[in-house]
Amino acid sequence: MTVPPLLSIVIPVFNEEHNIDLLIESIEKELSNYSYELIFIDDFSTDGTRKVIETHPNPHRVLIAFESNKGQSSALAAGIKYACGQYIATMDGDLQNDPSDIPKMLHLIQSEGWDMVIGYRKNRQDPVLKTIPSKIANFMIRTTTQLSVRDSGCALKVMTSKTAKEIPLHGELHRFMALNAHINGARIKEVPIIHHPRLYGVSKYGLERTFKVLKDLSVIIFNHKVSPPKRVRT
């Protein structure tokens, strides 16, 4: 009988062929003392991303390959559904998140009993097109809910498997995983993390997505006001 890993790392990717090898090498270095599975979800990449993952020698890697472009939320949902670790980490595949932050985030969950630990990109290395909508969304969350975090949309998160598998993921809801976990009663802690500038590939974030993100957030907040959140777990 196969023993489940301690940690499942879920990474949605789309056209990141030049980042995959470097990312896996970094994960191998930082998590060498942990049992983990590395779940890549390829969202119908048009470059060599899928081949790079398939041919990499890392024995812990798993590839879920979409046959059409379904978006990041669907990719995360597929990876989380597949994951069998006691804890689940999510991160981007563009090398902007640093795997060296994962052990300390995991330690906080194990030692302090949090359901989710999310990253705070204190020195965020992104263009204004991405940071301004994020600031608006975080302001709306802080002022309309009891979730007081500065960077709810940060991709780097570590959470219990139960917490992850209860979060709804469709549309652009991957940006509000922390908010939906909070609504579900999860105990959440935010910690500063490293954030690197993108070296290879291009951002998939455009102005048209900004409006969809804010629309989705407005719906979540409205539903949150209409239906009180679940009691925080004890």
Q: Per-residue pLDDT tens, the chain, 234 aa: give them.
A: 689 999 999 999 999 999 999 999 999 999 999 999 999 999 999 999 999 999 999 999 999 999 999 999 999 999 999 999 999 999 999 999 999 999 999 999 999 999 999 999 888 776 666 667 777 777 877 887 878 888 888 999 999 999 999 999 987 788 889 999 999 999 999 999 999 988 887 665 555 555 666 677 677 766 665 455 565 555
Tokens of 226: 């209409």
Is pTM beyond 0.85? Reply is yes
Ramachandran sector of residue 39 (left: φ over 0; alpha: ψ -120 to 50; beta: rest): beta
- Give the span between the Cα atoms of 31 and 200, in whole angstroms: 23
Domain 7-226 has CATH 3.90.230.10: no
- The residue type found at 198 is R
Where do we find the tokens 């060498």? 32
* Dihedral in degrees, nearest 10, Cα atoms 210, 11, 62, 100: 170
